Amino acid sequence: MKKVSMLMLAVCSTIAFAQKVSDYKYVAVPEKFETFKEDYGLKDFFTKALKGKKYTVLPIIKDNWPSEAKSNFCNVISADVINDKNVFKNKVILQFKDCNNNTILESKGGSKIKEFDEGLQDALREALIKVPISNPVAFLPAAATVATQNSSSEPAKSIAIPESANFSNGKVSLQKIQIDPSQFILAKSGSSVPFAAFKTTSKDSVFIVKLDNGSTTIGYFENGNIVIDIPQADGRYSKEVFVAK
């Protein structure tokens, strides 16, 4: 019965902490949508539409990205418009993917207008209806910031922590539940909402963390314990250590 409850909690937590396009500020748009022979005005139309929904559009090439995006690629989602036309309609598929190439939104649009330029833009307009206005979560500190807390210049080493283990900060006891190789949660006993959900980054043992209050921060392993940088009201972060029991 306990295993079933934990499985249901893991599934619920995956849904509860699913990313949304509106969580992001930055959207990377390719120079050319590869499935179209010509541009048909799609890139300009798409770029203007995203800006109208309060997103900042970036090129795929990262050289000129702003520092807060360049320091953590997972603060940026990539977008693509795919040609889905048939003999009767101009049709497109709009996709947004995160830094792990996971699709977080796919929307289809179609138009009976036969002219390519006008018809494809009309189809894209329909697909864009599902795209919400940007309401980004707080930007995460760069993984390198955490790395500087270690005085050693040697590369960080992975620390083996059991897939299921208990941790406590002296105030609350939590169980670590591994959902899949790229994510785990810390859950209070008997609670249907995880205390924190962890997702891997490109930095070994450093994680993007979404807390139960909706805020986003970072976490990492330290000496076999789990550390979370807890956001404070003044914009600073406090170090909260959860000791393995």
The full DSSP string for the chain is -HHHHHHHHHHHHHHHT---GGG-SEEEE-SS-TT-SS-TTHHHHHHHHHHHTTPEEEESSGGG--HHHHT-GGGEEEEEEEE---SS-EEEEEEEE-TT--EEEEEEEEE---SHHHHHHHHHHHHGGGPPPP-PPPPPPPHHHHHTTS---SPP------SEEEEE-SS-EEEEEEEETTEEEEE-TT-SS-SEEEEE-SSTTEEEEEETTS-EEEEEEETTEEEEEEE-TTS-EEEEEEEE-
- Per-residue pLDDT at 201: 87
Please compute the mean of the pLDDT values over residues 2-29 and round it to a whole number: 61
Which residue has better confidence, 156 or 43?
A: 43
- Per-residue pLDDT at 191: 65
- Per-residue pLDDT at 161: 57
> Which domains are delineated in the chain?
2-17+140-244 (no CATH), 25-130 (3.30.160)
pLDDT in tens, 203-220: 888 999 988 887 889 999
Which residue has better confidence, 190 or 146?
A: 190
pLDDT in tens, 106-135: 999 999 998 999 999 999 999 999 999 998
- Per-residue pLDDT at 232: 84
- Per-residue pLDDT at 131: 94
pLDDT in tens, 161-207: 555 588 999 998 999 988 878 888 998 876 657 899 999 988 888 99
pLDDT in tens, 47-96: 999 999 999 999 988 888 988 888 777 889 999 999 998 878 999 999 99
